Amino acid sequence: MTSSLLQNLLHITNFRNPFLRAAVPSVAAAFALQTAVAVPSILTQSERFYDASGAATFLAVSALSLYLPSLRARAAATLVGLPKPALPSILSVVGGAGGGFHWRQIALTAAVVFWSVRLGTYLFQRVLQQGHDSRFSEIRVSPGKFAGAFVGQATWVSLCLAPVLAINAAPIASLAAVPFGVTDLLGLALFAGGFAFEITADRQKGRWLQGRKEKLHDELFLTGGLFARSQYPNYFGECTLWTGIATAAAGVLVTRPVQAGLGLSGGLPGKILALAVSYISPAFVSLLLLKVTGVPLSEKKYDAKYGDRKDYQEWKRNTPKFFPKLW
């Protein structure tokens, strides 16, 4: 039953364009997984598994996009009665057209995996410790609004993964034809730096919260460490790491071999499309964190609590909201 369903799905989404062959089933999987978690969450009015499901969806969709060409090859072999080819191992990176994966596909997919496991674990532990997530205090009692949160999360996954889906959709031979370059190095460095920045900020905040809980200090709001350089250093790290993934992908997607491999013109329109597919990821994350959910919700909460305090107002005046000050 499952095998037949998979074959039908692969057949329906077997578009001529390689990117659509990867993107459509991957996006469909993101929305299907979020729906599967949304239904029981809405019925029980519980947000406990919201963040964990987001991380799991990132993992599942990333892995699916990486293995889709192999799954299609196995499905095609089944239809004509041939033995199924073995699924390639991520440990055997192949740079040519003979099979396996290209190192860029492994690197960007692994970056998403590391990030999603770390963030999902951190957020799940936080909601377990606190017993609730204040973001959902009002919307979890409204089925429509709560469902919208899961739709938003599926959209978040789909848009963030757009550059990774494009790289995983590209033929291995086309990726191998592009030598290691500046954008590879810059993109991976931005990801590593942003990832480290976000982890450090989260750990500093976690230690500060634990210290306040244990009455080791009486500070009402965090102004030390990275939070002395940026009001939201974790959000800066988040946007930076996705910019890194986008940069690494864009530098390859605009090249002539990969443009041809993805069925694009290779001219200006094709390159603009490649850049749009890549940078829609950090653009959407930045919009979400700075204008929709992250900063606006946090600022509203803290302004209501501490807005009349001079030390809080001084920290807000002297600390950049997003980009960290260097001195």
154-201 pLDDT, tens per residue? 999 999 999 999 999 999 999 999 999 999 999 999 999 999 999 999
Tell the residue number behind the tokens 């929305």, with chain if given: 31
The predicted structure's pLDDT at residue 60: 94
Confidence of residue 107 (pLDDT cuts 50, 70, 90): very high
Residue 131 burial by CB count (10 A; 0-12/13-18/19+): exposed, middle or buried? exposed
Q: Which ranges of 214-267 does DSSP label H, i.e. alpha helix?
A: 233-253, 256-261
Question: pLDDT band for position 92 (50/70/90)?
Answer: low
Quote the tokens at residue 116. 């999603």
pLDDT of residue 131: 62
Confidence (pLDDT) at 72: 84
Concatenated DSSP letters of 260-297: HHTT--SSHHHHHHHHHHHHHHHHHHHHIIIIISHHHH
pLDDT surpassing 70 at residue 305: yes
Condensed to tens digits (0 to 9), the pLDDT of residues 25-67 reads 999 999 999 999 999 999 998 888 888 899 999 999 999 999 9
Average pLDDT over residues 126-150: 80
Rounded Cα–Cα distance for residues 10 and 278 (Å): 25
Contact 192, 166 (CB under 8 A): no
Q: 217-255: buried (b, 16+ CB within 10 Å) or exposed (e) per residue? A: eeeeebbeebbebbbbbbbbbbbbbbbbbbbbbbbbbbb
Please tell me the predicted confidence (pLDDT) of residue 96: 44
Domain spans of the chain, in order of start:
1-176, 178-327
Cα distance between residue 52 and residue 198, in whole Å: 18
Largest pairwise CA distance in the chain: 75
CA distance 183 to 253: 11
What is d(CA 241, CA 243) in angstroms, rounded to the nearest whole number? Answer: 5
Q: For the residues 229-239, what does the mean pLDDT come to?
A: 96
pLDDT at residue number 97:
43
For 244-283, write each residue's pLDDT tens digit. Answer: 999 999 999 999 999 999 988 778 999 999 999 999 999 9
Higher pLDDT, 9 or 193: 193
pLDDT level of residue 99 (50, 70, 90 thresholds) = low
Say which residues have a Cβ less than 8 Å from residue 275's Cβ, sequence separation at least 6: 250, 253, 254
Task: Determine the 3-state secondary structure of 101 from DSSP.
Answer: strand
Q: What percent of the chain has pLDDT over 90?
A: 63
One-letter identity of residue 90: I
Mean pLDDT calculated for residue range 206-233: 91
pLDDT of residue 8: 72
Q: What is the pLDDT of residue 120?
A: 82
Q: What is the pLDDT of residue 98?
A: 46
Digit-coded pLDDT (tens) for 72-90: 887 777 777 777 777 777 7
* Chain mean pLDDT for the chain: 89
| Whether the Cβ atoms of residue 84 and residue 16 lie closer than 8 Å to each other | no
d(CA 225, CA 178): 41
Sequence-ordered list of residues with C-beta below 8 angstroms from that of 166, at least 6 positions apart, any chain? 19, 22, 23, 249, 253, 262, 274, 277, 278
Q: Distances in Å between the alpha carbon of 240 and those of 68, 194, 323?
A: 28, 5, 10
In this prediction, residue 40 carries a pLDDT of 94
Report the distance separating Cα 293 and Cα 297, nearest Å: 6
The whole-angstrom separation of Cα 327 and Cα 319 is 11
Task: Report pLDDT for 133.
Answer: 67
